[in-house]
Structure 1
Amino acid sequence: MFAVIKTGGKQYKVAENDVIDIEKLEADEGATVEFDSVLALGDTVGLPTIAGAKVTGEVLSQFRGEKVIIFKKHRRQNYRRKNGHRQFLTRVRITGFAGV
């Protein structure tokens, strides 16, 4: 069985024991988190969410993602700007579904 959850402005298709990297959650390592915004659960599709459905997960780690380089340039103007960004992420293992 699979579920589609929404967190951090993105949607993820998850199954039990999947490990996903999502936008940073304020939770310690080893903590249990619940995702209430379940868009689909198996064959059931919510309008827009399924009432009472929850997906639970365990926080494995907090880390920063790969560096993304931002480079801006204006031709013939000697204008060059180089910047970098590393997003804060949370690694979560999906442990189960509730409210099926």
Structure 2
Amino acid sequence: MFAVLKTGGKQYKVASGDVLRVEKLVAEAGDTVQFNDILMIGDAIGAPFVEGAGVQAEVIDQIKGDKVINFVRRRRKHSSKRTKGHRQKLTLVRVTELLTEGADKSGVKAATGSAPRDAGAAPAAKPAKAKKAAASGDDLKKLSGVGPALEKKLLGAGITSFAQIAGWSDADIARIDEELGLKGKIEKEGWVAQSKDLQA
């Protein structure tokens, strides 16, 4: 008996005892994982998946695939060349059991791919912080030359009110100008004077 499973955007035809290289899974060597997206097993064909079916496998190792070279050359005068290499992260697994039913009650953890660097959660905290700061502070977009992008930069640096800007010394202006890369915009636009007026 064989099954066709789907993982990492690819389909694999497997039988018990087969060794596969699949897209990286969140698992350690020696763990048992279960693939639940089964397109076909024995005589049962899914629409798109077979209900209650599963394929259990033992993780042998976390490996890297063969190196792929990406070479780009632009022709003609003053041409440029670029070479990049890539080795795909893979997981080596051995199929141990094909389950035609009851896979949902087996208690074996599902085989899941690795999330891209877990970067989704961390950057979400910054906009929330900026929104909170914007809600409690002044509308910095009232200053000339400040748009949404620059307002976000200012809020990220902890500048939330006109009172803060009005109290800046020459040293503060130079430091903030350098930190945020404003290229003299604070003095050109006269933010300190504007902030004093807006405060009043």
Q: What SS class does the counterpart of residue 30 from structure 1 fall into?
A: coil
Matching of residues 1-100 of structure 1 within 5 Å:
1-76=1-76, 77-100=78-101
Q: Distance in 1 between matches of 2:15 and 2:100?
A: 15
Gaps of 5+ in 2: 102-200
Gaps of 5+ in 1: none
Give how far 1:99 is off. Answer: 2.7
Structure with the greater alpha carbon radius of gyration: 2
Give how far 1:42 is off. Answer: 1.5
Q: Deviations over 1:63-100 (max 9, x none)?
A: 11110000111111421110000000000000011135
Q: What SS class does the counterpart of residue 47 from structure 1 fall into?
A: coil
Of 13-22 and 38-47, more deviation after overlay is shown by 38-47
Runs (4+) off by over 3 Å: none
AA partner of residue 41 (structure 2): L
Give how far 1:41 is off. Answer: 0.3
Report how many aligned residue pairs link the two structures: 100
AA partner of residue 53 (structure 1): A
AA partner of residue 52 (structure 2): G
Which structure would you say has the larger RCO, counting Cα contacts within 8 Å and 6 or more residues apart?
A: 1
Q: Which has the higher helix share?
A: 2
Q: What SS class does the counterpart of residue 34 from structure 2 fall into?
A: strand
